Each structure stands twice: as C-alpha cells, then as structure tokens.
Amino acid sequence: MSQSVSTPVIPKLLVPGNEDCVHFGGRWYSRDWMARTAQAVLDAVGPQGGLALVARNRPAHVATMAGALDAGRALTMIHSAQSPARLAADIERLRRPTIVAEHSDWTEEVLAAARRVGSAAIALTDGDDCASVEVLLQRGAGPFAGPPEGTALELLSSGTTGAPKQVPLSRETITRSLAASGTMYAGSDGAKPQIMAAPLGNISGLGYAMPPLMNRQPLVLLDKFRPR
C-alpha cells in the first residue's frame, strides 16, 4: 500500500514569515516557528513512508499536519483523548512506520507498543525557535501498513457511534476543500483570528486549522472548550 502522496497539496500552507501565526497558552507562534517545526518533524521522520499523529490542539501538531500535506506525505490521525492502553492498541492496529506525539503521551505502555510494531517514536515539546523534536525510538523492520491507495490524510470520525475511526481523504478532496476556503476568505478581514476549540484530529483540523495558514489569518487554539 502506498504511504506517500506523489505531489504536495496546492496551495502551500506553511509560508515562512515573522508575523504571528498561531496562539496557544498565552503565546503567539510565528510562521517561521511553524515552518521550522514542520521541517524538523519531517527531517526526523525521514525521506520515505507515511506518518501518524496523536493529534492535540498544539502549534507543533498543526505544523506537523500542514508540513505533511505540503510535502505530500500520507498522514494518519490518532485519537489522543484515550487511555494509554487504548492508544497503544491503536498503534498496534494501525502499524504506521512513524508515530508523532506530544512527549507526555509517550508513556512506557505506548512506547512498548511502538517498539513491538517497529514504529519510530517521535516526541514533540514546546520550544523557543521551533518545537523540540526528539526521536525516542528508531524505525524497525516492521512489517508496516498504510492507508488506502491515494490517501493523503486520514481524519478521525466523530466517535458518536463508537470509537473514532480513520476516514481517508484523497489529495483531490483536500485541494478542493482548501480552494473553497480561499473563495470564502476573499474580501474578508484576515486580521481577525480564527478560534478553534474543536479537535485537530477530526474534520475540524482541515476545516478550521488549515485555511488560516493558507490565507495568512491568525489562528487561536483552545485545548478544550469550556462553556461558562
């Protein structure tokens, strides 16, 4: 099964610049920070194969998603709001060659699952110039699995009828979605931030996180929506 997409998604999402790009936890992260983080993750992943992301609403995770789409690398989202045992089970079920996750998500149980599969384990931690990207486990021999042929991105279903499942999207579908968002942005005030409280790993990631990057609109990430 193919684990990469032959050409990048157009238009490019991560264009460097020193302006504010993403806000999280009381801090603004520049477009340069996002671009450097995406490149650091891709360098750690290596030149071949797809990757999976234990997706959280964090700047480094948004950068990883955008960087994978820009580079034409097949990306699978993994549900983060679950126990280490269930996260480990997902890693063993999916058998992706590389898993990227927040450092705190790499418990011993989760690391052991990646080790059994042979998956590379990459940990993300916040940093000044870019995120800290640490390879906890090198990729082993596998065997590995990938998404269906022609898939650019596997997003998570809502989980309303059971555990969230990976839903494959083609490059063509993603390109059409981003092109439609560009039409909607035409003539709008791009200085007003887009606020995103919904999970990055489901359709919200494509619909709410990627268009601001493409259209150079600030994005405010909320870890979890808490109504007052």
Q: How far is the C-alpha of 202 from the C-alpha of 17, rounded, in Å?
A: 27
Which residue type sits at 96?
R
Domain boundaries, position 124: 34-187
Q: Is residue 23 part of a domain?
A: no
228 residues of the chain, pLDDT tens digit each:
445 544 444 578 999 999 999 999 999 999 999 999 999 999 999 988 899 999 999 999 999 999 999 999 999 999 999 999 999 999 999 999 999 999 999 999 999 999 999 999 999 999 999 999 999 999 999 899 999 999 999 999 876 667 788 999 998 888 888 877 765 555 555 678 989 999 999 988 888 899 999 888 999 999 865 444
Q: Is residue 133 part of a domain?
A: yes
Residue 183 main-chain phi, psi, to 5 deg: -65, -40
Q: How far is the C-alpha of 214 from the C-alpha of 220, rounded, in Å?
A: 15
- Would you give the distance in Å from CA 59 to the centre of its chain? 10
Q: Kind of pairing, strands 120-125 and 132-137? A: antiparallel
Q: How far is the C-alpha of 162 from the C-alpha of 157, rounded, in Å?
A: 9
What does the pLDDT read at residue 10? 56
What does the pLDDT read at residue 160? 66
Specify the CATH number for the domain of residue 168: 3.40.50.980
Q: Is residue 41 part of a domain?
A: yes
Q: Is residue 74 part of a domain?
A: yes
Q: Is residue 93 part of a domain?
A: yes
Q: Is residue 60 part of a domain?
A: yes
| pTM (predicted TM-score) | 0.90
- Number of separate helices (H) and strands (E) present in the chain: 7, 11
Q: Is residue 228 part of a domain?
A: no
- Number of folded domains in the chain? 1
